[in-house]
Amino acid sequence: MATLNSLRIPVLFLFTLLLGTDAYFMHTQNECRFSSNDLHDLEYIQRYVFNKLEAIRYNSTLNKYIGYTALGVKNAERLNTDGSAEQRHANLDSYCRPNAKLVLTNILDKKNIPEPTIKIRSASHSSHKHTSMLVCSAYDFYPRGIKLTWLRDGKEVTHDVTSTEELADGNWFYQIHSHLEYTPKSGETISCRVEHASLPEGKEVKWDPNMSEVKRNKVIIGASGLVLGLIITIAGVVYYKKKSTGRILVPSS
C-alpha cells in the first residue's frame, strides 16, 4: 500500500451572480481529507467562499459550522442550532468514504499501479568521436519516485551518467530519461535497471547493439520496399496477361 502524507478530494460548485454591471462570485468547495490507509482520520470539509473570501466552513471532525466573516458567524450560529450540521455530517460516510476507497483501490494501491514503459535507444554524440551515448527512458509511471541505474557486465555505472528530473505528462503520469556516455567494448553487456513502486523486484532491460534503432528502421524500410516492389511486379504481370489474352493477331499479307 502506498504511503500517504495527505490527500484531499475536492469538488467545486461555482456560480456567478450578476446584478447590473457589478458581479459577485461565490463558490462552495467540498473536500475529503485523509492520510491513513484505513481512513480512520477521514475528514469532510465544506467551504463557502464569497468574492475570494471564505465566509463559512463546515468541519466534520468538530461537527459544526465556523464563521470567518460577520455574516458568516451569524449563519454558522443558525446552522449549528437548526440541525444542518448533523445533516451535513452524513456526507462523511455517504460521500467521502466511498470516494476515498476508490482512490485507495484504483490509484494508490500498488497492485493497480501501471508498470512504466521502458525503452533503450542510441543517441548521437556530437562532442566525442570515440564515445557513444545510450538513453534509457521510462514512460507512463505513477506515482513519482523512480530510480534508473545503468549496469555494464552486471556492475553499476556511477560515472558519465546524467538524468533528467521526473517530467509530468499532465495526465497524472510521469516520464524520466537517463543518459550513459560510454566507449563500446566487444562482448560487453549493458542494461538499464528500473526501480519503482509498481516493480517490487525491479526490472532490467538489456541493450541490444545488434538491433539498434537506426538498424531496425533500415530493416523496416528495406522490408517495406521489398513488399512494395513485389506488389508492383505482380500487378505488372497480371496486367500484361490480360492485355495478351485480349489481343487479336492479324496475319500479314
- Above 60 in pLDDT, residue 216? no
Q: Cα–Cα distance between 33 and 15 in angstroms, integer? A: 24
Domains 7-111 and 113-211 share a fold: no
CA separation for the pair 30, 76 (Å, rounded): 17
Q: What is the mean pLDDT of the chain?
A: 81
- pLDDT bin (cut points 50, 70, 90) of residue 94 is very high
Number of H helices, E strands in the chain: 5, 14
pLDDT at 154: 92
User: For residue 64, what pLDDT is reported?
Assistant: 96
Collapse the DSSP code of 215 into the 3-class scheme (helix H, G, I; strand E, B; otherwise coil) and give the result: helix
Residue range 7-111 in CATH 3.10.320.10: yes
Question: If we measure between CA atoms, which residue out of 11, 82, 5, 83 comes closest to residue 46?
Answer: 11
Of 123 and 206, the one with more pLDDT: 206
Tell me phi and psi for residue 158, to 5 degrees.
Answer: -115, 0
* pLDDT at residue 168, as a whole number: 92
pLDDT surpasses 50 at 247: yes
Confidence of residue 233 (pLDDT cuts 50, 70, 90): confident
Return the pLDDT at 253: 52
pTM above 0.75, yes or no: no
Q: Considering only CA atoms, which of 184, 92, 98, 178 is closest in space to residue 139?
A: 178
CATH topology of domain 113-211: Immunoglobulin-like (2.60.40)
88: part of which helix (H) or strand (E)? helix 84-89
The pLDDT of residue 77 is: 96
pLDDT tens per residue, range 10-63: 555 544 444 444 667 888 999 999 888 889 999 999 999 988 899 999 999 999
| Strands 43-50 and 22-34, bridge-based pairing | antiparallel
Three-class DSSP category at 175: strand
Pair 190, 149: CB distance under 8 Å = no
How confident is the model over 178-198, as a mean pLDDT? Answer: 92
Interval 197-218 mean pLDDT: 77
Higher model confidence: residue 209 or residue 107?
209
10 in Cβ contact with 28 (< 8 Å): no
Nearest to 161 by CA among 133, 190, 137, 185: 133
Count CA within 13 A, CB hemisphere, residue 184: 13
Over residues 96-153, the pLDDT tens digits come to: 999 998 888 766 665 667 789 999 999 876 555 667 899 999 999 988 899 999 999 9
Q: How far apart are CA 142 and CA 182, in angstroms?
A: 30
- Domain extents in the chain: 7-111, 113-211
Q: How much of the chain, in percent, has pLDDT values that exceed 90?
A: 49
Distance CA 34, CA 7 (A): 6
Amino acid at 125: H
